[in-house]
């Protein structure tokens, strides 16, 4: 599936539709946190950012275009190859590494901005992953986590709807029992000296075929996380 990352009507179409909401949310919150002007073409200039589980670079590249010094990491070698090639073809400056977040922790690397978007529901050890994310965050930095809540509604929409009815995603892409409720996320973060500063739902409008921020945390949600 790696080659399909940048096909807007292919296997990763939902992420392409979701991307504008994610980009604007991150840009605005980072700008407010660091005292930047969100209307500036490059409000992230001078800030270091890591995109954990970057896939083909769908979110990494826009962050680089906003001025950040970006590093994308992914455990799948083919994804990293695709991301590197696409960045080179587009003239985007980005570093891509085939490794895990824990590997960068071992190297003592730290970043102003940590992104863990749509990845935590796929990791084997959530607590260890959250610890690694926290250790990658510089003092005074800001983290973003996006995932899905474990509810009946999310099972109906993210599993049955997206994988079986709409066929947006291959069957088996998600395991419902790995979805994490916001309360569980908050509890896990507290163990590592982190706290949720903001929670927002992300909802889909089937009539407009668009995603938007909402108060509904039952399916997709994003969290802004900061050190306690």
pLDDT at 168 over 70: no
Task: Give the percent of the chain with pLDDT over 90.
Answer: 75
Comparing 202 with 12, the larger pLDDT belongs to 202
Reported as a single tens digit per residue, the pLDDT across 25-78 is: 999 999 999 999 999 999 999 999 999 999 999 999 999 999 999 999 999 999
Comparing 43 with 167, the larger pLDDT belongs to 43
For 79, the enclosing helix (H) or strand (E) is helix 77-90
Cα 31 to Cα 28, 100, 165: the distances in Å are 5, 27, 39
- Please count the other Cβ atoms lying within 10 Å of the Cβ belonging to residue 171: 9
Q: What is the predicted pLDDT for the residue at 218?
A: 92
Cα 187 to Cα 80, 117, 226: the distances in Å are 32, 18, 14
Q: What is the predicted pLDDT for the residue at 15?
A: 85
Q: What is the predicted pLDDT for the residue at 4?
A: 81
DSSP per-residue string spanning 93-138: --EEEES-HHHHHHTT--EEEEEEES-GGG-S-HHHHHHHHHHHEE
Q: What is the predicted pLDDT for the residue at 14?
A: 82
Q: What is the predicted pLDDT for the residue at 11?
A: 77
Task: Give the percent of the chain with pLDDT over 70.
Answer: 90
Q: What is the predicted pLDDT for the residue at 227?
A: 95
Strands 137-148 and 111-117, sheet pairing: parallel
pLDDT at 84 over 60: yes
DSSP per-residue string spanning 152-172: HHHIIIIIIIIIIIS--S-TT
Reported as a pLDDT band with limits 50, 70 and 90, residue 83 is very high
Reported as a pLDDT band with limits 50, 70 and 90, residue 187 is very high
Average pLDDT score over the chain: 91
Using an 8 Å Cβ cutoff, are 95 and 78 in contact? no
Reported as a single tens digit per residue, the pLDDT across 109-163 is: 999 999 999 999 989 999 999 999 999 999 999 999 999 999 988 867 666 655 5
Q: What is the predicted pLDDT for the residue at 207?
A: 81
Write down the pTM of the prediction. 0.91
Residues paired with 111 in a beta bridge = 137
Tokens 């970057």 correspond to 54
- Nearest to 225, CA basis, from 106, 120, 145: 145
């Amino acid at each position: 599936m790696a080659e399909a990352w940048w096909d807007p009507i292919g296997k990763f179409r939902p992420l392409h539709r979701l991307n504008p909401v994610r980009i604007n949310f991150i840009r605005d919150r980072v700008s407010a946190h660091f005292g930047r002007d969100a209307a500036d073409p490059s409000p992230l200039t001078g800030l270091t950012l890591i995109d954990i589980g970057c896939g083909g670079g769908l979110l990494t590249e826009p962050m680089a275009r906003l001025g950040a010094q970006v590093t994308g990491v992914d455990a799948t070698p083919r994804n990293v190859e695709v991301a590197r090639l696409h960045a080179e073809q587009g003239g985007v400056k980005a570093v891509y590494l085939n490794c895990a977040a824990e590997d960068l922790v071992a190297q003592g690397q730290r970043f102003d901005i940590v992104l863990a978007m749509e990845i935590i529901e796929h990791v084997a050890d959530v607590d260890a992953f959250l610890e690694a994310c926290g250790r990658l965050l510089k003092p005074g930095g800001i983290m973003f986590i996006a995932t899905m809540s474990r509810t009946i509604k999310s099972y109906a929409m993210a599993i049955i709807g997206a994988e079986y009815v709409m066929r947006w995603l291959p069957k088996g892409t998600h395991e419902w029992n790995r979805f994490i409720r916001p309360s569980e996320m908050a509890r896990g973060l507290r163990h590592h000296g982190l706290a949720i500063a903001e929670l927002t739902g992300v909802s889909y409008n089937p009539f407009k075929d668009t995603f938007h921020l909402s108060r509904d945390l039952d399916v997709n949600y994003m969290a802004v996380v900061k050190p306690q």
